Structure 1
């Protein structure tokens, strides 16, 4: 069993911790606010009680004092104060004149000045009666207030402790429910394999997962293309190399038999040349296969490509070959024609077009660049291709006739590169205004400022 925790659990833990922290701070603030209100209510009740008890205490103080001790305050008719009162009435000198039965028989340790005063055990409110000069002091036990504060805090803490497990379960349940789409996406990815690379279904996914799904679909598309290239490379290699290899074997066997029959031990030059030509064809087709593999690669770096400079570079490269020195005609344009693309694969496409035109025609080959819309044009003066064969000659292994064997693979490479660049690749035969030849044209969707 894996020791890794689920994403729902990893989300629930910090969420519960954060909520518990916020709740604890909120509980503390609520407890502080409730305690403030409780203290305020106690003080208000203490003030009201002091005013209610002032005049009954003055009346009791006017009666003759007992022979020993201090007068005891009698019950006040209609009083709604149910708790035992700790009340004392003192004169201007601070002597105790009257007290309630619950009050101590000695004066409170509080100064004779109006307002509240706290002792170790009581909160005392002092009220002055100016006409008689007497002071009434009413005490409220602090223990009672502490009990009220504790009851409030314990209630809030109990609610917090009781709700935390519920909160943990609820957040974890919500996280698992909301992450169901992630598990569904994961299940779809697990089903994909080399034989099953269909795009993922992305309906009703959250925005973030939808973007992840789109990226996965792009990856699956690139894998699909890569696998297609791999399979096509094997098929193309088997198809294109079978005939040259068979020719090499046949020529070698023939040369060996003739040498053995003549007894000279030397192979005639006439037998060597076809072997060299067959090997040349083998190398040429192998190079085309490598170009095809590269042209159909998924990833390309798009940069600004000057079509005139690209054609100049390739023209200079072909001018180094004897067959192209006087046949390839190229005149750079007056202004730069720039498109967005991958310069390496565009060079492969253009090299194939020029090579086909030079190889399968004996006359001049014209290379040109068009400004609007941006395009590369290669024209040859060969026999051309039948109009009925033009729609199919770009397919792999499809050739118009034996005279143009190279169009079986080279044009499919050009077509793949054109599709990757969003360009249109068209073949026209005969060349417009002529009675023969083939015109190959790569038309790009738009240019960029040089």
Structure 2
């Protein structure tokens, strides 16, 4: 664990030299690098030491081979405690409602093994510098449905509203470009397991281009293109997605269907449309925990609390398929939980809007702004769904990232494991031309 090369003195001086124009003034923003980490987490540990102080995060060389996700960063660690249905009440204040529900529903297969807290969050120096600038210059616009004045870092490291927190997640730290294979695996109510699809994926993040800036940024923050390779009847299907902070073109999507042999626009690939890539076992906006625009909800910060969350889950996301999953959950032998401070944000469907999940409770890690847990409630206010998002460390970036997520349908008894990395490789790659992420490019390649 090494301190970042970006000095805290530099950050403090930079912030003091700038004029406030947005969410916070120089004095509040000046906490970055002092009492706060460069991304906005509390630098100090908690009172009893169960959450240590942040000391720079983890920075080390990449793993060998084709996969840049190290399998096990802390092999010597042993669980500090094991939470089961039998002792869950003792730890209820640090468990989300969804986690408590899983312990009660699956007492024979689901448990929470809590390991020592490792504050591995780190980011490249240019991200820290941009985050410091964003603290003073980034603004919510268009009733909170867009942002301006920010680039290349966390937009609101000292947040004042739930909307600012969700934008921190949507614009979370990412490498410029990455490629990986993924599987969507559905665990059925009878304890079975089904491969919905296996896919090759390319992602790109214009918001984090190192040579970009606020004036040159296109307002697009996420580009995706993937092709399905299995099962055979879906092989060759392709999906392209481009997300923007501009509400007028927030999501553009194109789909190639093998049976139709043509590329078509796919405007329904969003919100609570069932995710056909996962055989409809989750909604599209449950991919990565939350995926898309925040405009269908009113957002409010409930508070900050210490929570047991999945964290440093490299062992789980790199485990082979036969070891990664249990009959009704992720295999607890491979899943690491830790105690972290989380921002708790409540989202309720906005007036005049609709969504199949009218209320959601989010748990965002303070160090990274990554979503770790998400509970969803039905129209009667009953807990219906809960998601476990899996933050994993890629030291070569350096960053903690999220892709895989397990979406539990508590009523149906199913689990949709979305973008599972098990048996796949992840790597940071050079930038592609942005024209690669278009429907025209897919059509020109003449996929079958």
Assess same fold via TM > 0.5. no
Instruction: Give the TM-score of the pair, scaled to structure 2.
Output: 0.19
Between Structure 1 and Structure 2, the one with more strand by share is 2
The structure with the largest alpha-carbon Rg is: 1
* Higher relative contact order (Cα pairs below 8 Å, separated by 6+ residues): 2
